[in-house]
Amino acid sequence: MTAATQTQNTELEAVEAAVASVCDPEYPDVSIRDLGLVESVEFAKQGVLVGLIPTFSGCPALAMIAADVRHAVEALPRVSTCEVVWLTSPVWSTSRITPAAKDQLASYTVVLRAKDGGLRCPVCGSNSVSDQSEAGPTRCRSVAWCESCRNVVEVMR
C-alpha cells in the first residue's frame, strides 16, 4: 500500500466516522449508520458524496438528517463540500438495523419483529404482545400492546 493510498483510506475513514456521528432526530443517541440509512460514502469530483436511503419516503426527518450529515462532513478539515443524495435503491428494511441499535431502540420501548413474526416486550420480556394498529406515532413504527405488563410497545416496521 502506497503512502498516498493510506492517506486516502484514513480520510475516507474520517468521513465515514463523521457520517456515523449523525443520529436520528427521533432517537438522539442512535447513529443513522446503525439504523442502516448509510449506503455509500465516496470522494467525488466536487467533494464528498454520501448516499443515504430513507426508512420511509415521506419521513419528515429526511431534510434534517441530510443537513446534519452535510454539516458533520464539511466540518472536517480536508473536506470542501459534501453532497447528500437520497437513494431509491436499495429499499430500507429493519434487517439493516445493527444488533447494537436494536438494543438501544429497546430502551425507547421500540422493538423489532423476530423472524417468525413474534414480538417480545422490551419492558417485562413477555412474549404476549399483540398488534394493535398498523400505523404508529411515526412512519416507521406500528403499535402493539403487552398483555402481561400492559405497556404500549412500538414496533419498527
Partner 1 sequence: MAEMTDGAALSGKPAGLSPAATEYILAFADDEHMVGARHTTWIGLGPFLEEDLAFCSIAQDELGHAIALYTVVAESEGAAGEAGVDQLALLRAPDAYRSSWLAEWPCNDWAQAVVRHWLYDTAEALRWDAVAASTVPQLAAIVPGAQREEQFHTRHAAQFMAQVCTTAAAQIGTAIQELLPVAHTVWLPPVDEAAALAEGVATRSFAEMEQDWQALVEADLSKWGLPAALLRGQSASEQRQTDRTVRSPGFTPFHQDLVEVFSIDPAAVW
H/E segment holding residue 102:
helix 99-106
Q: How far is the CB of 99 from partner 1 (least distance, A)?
A: 23
Distance CA 4, CA 24 (A): 34
CA 83 to chain centre: 18
Convert residues 57-96 into a mask of x (bound to partner 1 by CB under 8 A) and - (unbound): xxxx-----x----------------xxxxxxx-xxx---
Q: How far is the CB of 100 from partner 1 (least distance, A)?
A: 24
Strands 110-112 and 152-156: parallel
Nearest to partner 1 of 125, 137 (CB atom): 137
Calculate the alpha carbon distances from 5 to 1, 10, 45, 129 in Å: 6, 9, 17, 52
Q: Which three cell numbers mark 155?
A: 414496533
Q: Does 99 bind partner 1 (CB under 8 A)?
A: no
Nearest to partner 1 of 33, 141 (CB atom): 141
Nearest to partner 1 of 84, 105 (CB atom): 84
Residues that bind partner 1 (CB under 8 A): 39, 44, 46, 49, 51, 54, 56-60, 66, 83-89, 91-93, 132-139, 142-143, 157
